[in-house]
Amino acid sequence: MFRFIHSSDLHIGKRFGSMPEELRGRLRDARHTVLDRLAAQARAGGAGTILLAGDCFDTETPSPAVLRQALAAMAGHAPLRWIILPGNHDSLLADELWVAARNALPANVMLAVEPDPIELEPGVVLLPAPCTTRRPGRDLTDWMDQAATPDGALRIGLAHGAIQSFSEDGVGLDIIAPDRASRSGLDYLALGDWHGQMRLNARSWYSGAPEPDRFKHDGPGRALLVSLTGPGAVPDVVPVETGSFDWRTLPLELLSGDDAATVLTERLPAGSVRRQSLLRVVASGRLRPQARAGLDAAVTAVAPEFAHLVLETEGLATDCESGDLDAIDRAGALRHAADRLLAESVDESRAAGERQTARDALVRLFSYCEAMPS
Mean pLDDT (10-residue bins), the chain, 374 residues: 97 93 95 97 98 96 96 98 97 95 97 97 97 91 96 97 61 77 97 95 97 88 97 97 95 92 95 94 90 91 97 85 69 82 85 84 76 62
Q: Under DSSP, is residue 361 helix (H, G, I), strand (E, B) or coil?
A: helix
CA distances from 79 to 37, 39, 72, 300 (A): 15, 10, 13, 48
Helix (H) or strand (E) holding 336: helix 332-345
CA distances from 31 to 43, 130, 309 (A): 20, 22, 20
CB 38 within 8 A of CB 242: yes
| 199 contacts: CB under 8 Å, gap ≥ 6 | 205, 237
The pLDDT of residue 373 is: 64
* Alpha-carbon torsion (277, 282, 287, 290), positive or negative: positive
Cα dihedral: 328, 304, 269, 240 (round 10): 150
Instruction: Give the number of other CB atoms < 10 A from CB of residue 363.
Output: 24
Q: Under DSSP, is residue 360 helix (H, G, I), strand (E, B) or coil?
A: helix
The pLDDT of residue 67 is: 97
pTM of structure: 0.86
CB 137 within 8 A of CB 174: yes
Strand order in the sheet with 81-84: 109-111, 81-84, 49-52, 2-7, 222-228, 236-241
